[in-house]
Amino acid sequence: MEWFGTWLSAYWLRNYTDVLQGLLFAAFTILMVFRGQKKSRQIEKFILSFLTSYNSAQMISGLVYRWIASRHQLTGTLADFLVASLCLLVPLAVLIPLYRRVIGILGPGAVFFYTLFFCSNCMSMLLADTAFQRMCITLVLSVVLVAAFRKELRYVFFQRSMLRMDRRFKTSAATFMVIIGMEAELPRIVLDGGEDGVGNELAYAVSLAGCVLLLFFVVFMKFNFFAIMRYENFIRSHDEDPATGARSLSCLLEHGPDFLRRAAVKGQPMAVFYTTIGNFRDVNILHGYDAGSVLLRQTADLLEEAFPEGIIARASGAHFAGVVPQKDATERFAQVSEKVEALSLDEALHLEVGLCPTSAQKAVSPGKDPTERLASLVDLAASAISYPSAPGEVVRCCDENIRKQEEIRLHVLSSVDKAVKNRWLCVYYQPLVEVQGGRIAGFEALSRWIDPTYGPLTPDKFVAPLEGVRMIYKVDLNVLAAYGREVQKLQGRGLTPLPISFNISRADLESGIDLYGEIERLLDSASLDRRLVHVEISESALNGDSQVMPRAIERFHRMGLEVWMDDFGSGYSSLNVLKDYRFDVIKIDMEFMRKFDERSRVIVRSICEMASSLGTRTVAEGVETKEQYEFLQQVGCTYAQGYLFSKPQPPEAFYDALAAQEAKSSRESAPRIRFSPLVQNPKST
Ligand code: C2E
Ligand code: MG
Ligand code: MG
């Protein structure tokens, strides 16, 4: 223990330079990385930086060397040189990663920062004769080097640079540190044989070589950084999303195909993903735009961390897209989602991910160029998110079913005009039957898309997609145009046309076209009596801007059209709707017939009674059984619609039934005929 006491008492006298340089090291760390942060955090980081500084390695090395030297006769030998060098390099190898953790930076920034302090210290050992000189040279050189490299240090600390990923940069800085360190030890121990200072000519030559080497290092590194920073900034202005530091979408589409090709050569299965941060809007609203920006950057970092072998790009807003290895992707996304959730302040954040294996590429868009194919896969992955997934499931994988549905969706969006022009879009009619008299009172007009490639498409395949892009008005106006043609045909056969109700969507009113003008034009061109056309507006369309619907209802009324409320009871504000809007007819949602239990019956009865007191007629949708029909007779429902009478059918299917109804009606001179011929085979369509 005697050696320890001697070392400790003599330490300050000889090595106060190290203590001071360590403090300088910690101060620079705070200035560069923790500026503007809380004082307590700065003090904590200052102490930790000091303890993990290059100088701590120097102190440990001094202590260990003394301990070894007290047991073995080393002075002036080659063994002495090797032991002294090792005593320094081993603690350095441990302290650098520790320092990196303490200040929380990635890559070789820490190695480079160490190198500058290490060089200053070693250089002073080569140049100084006294401890005081050594201190002055060390401190001045440290400040000069850090000042000269301040921009570069900030760059490697904070920027996502190739320098942070390139091992060669780290290795070259570390090798340089080893060479300078050994050079500093060499004159002291081997050439001079003494404890400190440099005595003979060869030792001076080594010192000179050390100085030249340091100069060379400084110039070389400056030049290197300059070139790399300029190049990376140039690339970044094109390739990087400035808000998150992730790649830009254009970068993904430009480099993605090459990346996928290389992965395919290596036999590595890849997948394209699209992800969105659920509830992100709440962060902007509740905590401000800056908090939102921080969250986006953190999410980008988490994705990059989870998929270092992939390409992560910001698509827009809170959406990211990219290419990642297929293996374990689901689990890794689930982990990222958990971490994103942990970042929530009060707003249950989570990730929703659509994942599409690149093996689906050919199926998605055969023959397209690789960039377009990748873009189609990104679109497909984005669409997958909107398909229902199991509760708690983060990742929705694109299966064959989703792929097919998306294919149809894109086909629908791109060919709606063609569908109208070529009459792929046609109208089927479903009768509404008077509950008390049994005769057909009218029809609901429902669109069908008979596609030459995909066959008959039901509305769920085209209504929502066209609503999404506000093109559904093309379908709805087509219904009126088709009805106009039908009326002319009926009149040609000497039959009286019955009224129809046609569906309009909220998107029609928001599409920017003159919807009312177009409807008027169609009614006029077919000389249609306004009493023959009713407008159905679904209850769900009443959500949103409260002024749009009252204005629309009023406008339709002024045009002389009845306005019917569709799917009443499917939303949660049904009674308010009755209070706030004036509908001529209420169509009771078919869910009540589907679940025809006592509760549903009580509700339907109440709706019919309430509507009758308000002077409003009612339609029960989805009537499939005689029992339901009889119940509706008891409760005073006005009309019934459902498979019990007929599925929606092409108009020709009803011509004969209408003719029979008219004939019977005139024969009996009573306006009503009992309904029967339409109840053929409910499952016939
Ligand atoms: P909706 O307006 O409520 O139409 C009634 C739907 O119920 C129709 O489905 C009809 O075929 C179906 N249906 C009628 N009776 C029964 C029954 O007894 N049992 C069962 N299970 N179903 C029955 P469809 O034709 O598939 O239309 C679905 C929805 O698509 C319509 O609901 C409507 O909201 C929308 N839609 C249809 N055509 C058009 C259109 O031309 N324009 C717009 N904007 N939407 C349309
Ligand atoms: Mg309807
Ligand atoms: Mg309905």
Measure the N-to-C terminal CA separation of the chain; round to a whole number of Å: 100
CB 493 within 8 A of CB 476: no
- In single-letter form, the type of residue at position 483 comes to Y
CB 402 within 8 A of CB 384: yes
Copy the structure tokens of residue 319: 């959406």
Copy the structure tokens of residue 213: 């080497």
Report pLDDT for 181: 75
Distance 214 CA to ligand 1 centre (A): 81
Helices (H) and strands (E) in the chain, counts: 27, 15
Angle at 245 between CA 242 and CA 251, to 5 degrees: 80
pLDDT grade for 479, boundaries at 50, 70 and 90: very high
Give the residue ranges of DSSP H helices in 385-458: 400-421
Report pLDDT for 361: 57
d(CA 490, CA 651): 10
Report pLDDT for 162: 74
Q: Which part of the chain has CATH 3.30.70.270?
A: 247-398
User: Which ligand is in closest contact with the Cα of 596?
Assistant: 1
CATH class entry, domain 247-398 = alpha beta
Helix-helix angle 280-287:289-306, to 10 degrees: 140
Residues 6+ apart with CB under 8 A from 669: none
Distance 568 CA to ligand 3 centre (A): 8
Distance 261 CA to ligand 2 centre (A): 50
Over residues 487-539, the pLDDT tens digits come to 999 888 888 899 999 999 989 988 889 999 999 999 999 999 999 999 999 88
Cα–Cα separations (whole angstroms), residue 327 to 58, 307, 400: 45, 11, 19
Copy the structure tokens of residue 147: 């000042």
455-457 and 440-451 beta bridge pairing: antiparallel
Lowest mean pLDDT of 111-125, 166-180, 461-475, name the range: 166-180
pLDDT score of 198 more than 80 = no
Over residues 536-565, the pLDDT tens digits come to 998 888 777 667 888 899 999 999 999 999
Q: What percent of the chain has pLDDT over 70?
A: 88
Distance 590 CA to ligand 3 centre (A): 7
Residues 6+ apart with CB under 8 A from 117: 21, 24, 25, 53, 54, 55, 142, 145
In ligand 1, which atom is closest to the CA atom of 459? 30
d(CA 325, CA 337): 17
Range 48-74 average pLDDT: 83
Give the residue ranges of DSSP H helices in 187-327: 201-239, 249-265, 280-287, 289-306
Over residues 565-620, the pLDDT tens digits come to 999 988 766 677 888 888 999 999 999 999 999 999 999 999 999 999 999 999 99
Give the residue, 37 or 337, on which the prediction is more confident. 337
Q: Which residue(s) pair with 272 in the sheet?
A: 323, 356
Report pLDDT for 113: 87
Q: Give ligand 1 pocket residues (Cβ under 6 A).
A: 430, 446-447, 458-459, 463, 472, 475-476, 479, 503-505, 536, 538, 566-567, 590, 621-624, 641-643, 648
The beta strand positions in 521-601, using DSSP E, are 533-538, 562-568, 585-588
The per-residue pLDDT of the chain, averaged, comes to: 85
In ligand 1, which atom is closest to the CA atom of 475? 41
User: What phi and psi, each to the nearest 5 degrees, are found at residue 247?
Assistant: -70, 160
Report pLDDT for 190: 56
Copy the structure tokens of residue 652: 């020709």
User: What phi and psi, each to the nearest 5 degrees, are found at residue 428?
Assistant: -105, 155
pLDDT score of 649 more than 80 = yes
Residue nearest to atom 14 of ligand 1 (CA): 642
From the list 459, 384, 475, the residue with the least C-alpha distance to 421 is 475
SS3 33: helix
d(CA 672, CA 665): 6
The alpha-carbon radius of gyration of the chain (Å, integer) is 40
CATH code linked to domain 423-684 = 3.20.20.450
Q: Where does residue 379 rank: exposed (0-12), middle (13-18), buried (19+ CB within 10 A)? A: buried
pLDDT score of 672 more than 60 = no
pLDDT score of 676 more than 50 = no
Report pLDDT for 366: 55
- In single-letter form, the type of residue at position 472 comes to I
SS3 breakdown of the chain: % helix, strand, coil, rounded to 5? 60, 15, 25
Residues 6+ apart with CB under 8 A from 564: 501, 534, 535, 536, 537, 583, 584, 585, 586, 587, 619
User: Which ligand is in closest contact with the Cα of 537?
Assistant: 2
pLDDT grade for 203, boundaries at 50, 70 and 90: low
d(CA 374, CA 323): 9
Q: What percent of the chain has pLDDT over 90?
A: 43
- Residue carrying the six token digits 């498979």: 643
From the list 232, 236, 270, the residue with the least C-alpha distance to 251 is 236
Report pLDDT for 315: 92
Distance 352 CA to ligand 2 centre (A): 32
Residue nearest to atom 10 of ligand 1 (CA): 648
- Residues with CB in 5 Å of ion ligand 3: 566-567, 621
Lowest mean pLDDT of 61-70, 320-329, 409-418, 648-657, name the range: 61-70
Report pLDDT for 60: 85
Over residues 209-236, the pLDDT tens digits come to 877 888 888 888 888 888 888 888 887 7
pLDDT score of 170 more than 60 = yes
Report pLDDT for 197: 47
Q: Which part of the chain has CATH 3.20.20.450?
A: 423-684
pLDDT score of 666 more than 50 = yes
Residue nearest to atom 33 of ligand 1 (CA): 503
pLDDT grade for 322, boundaries at 50, 70 and 90: very high
d(CA 83, CA 608): 98
Report pLDDT for 298: 92
d(CA 48, CA 32): 15
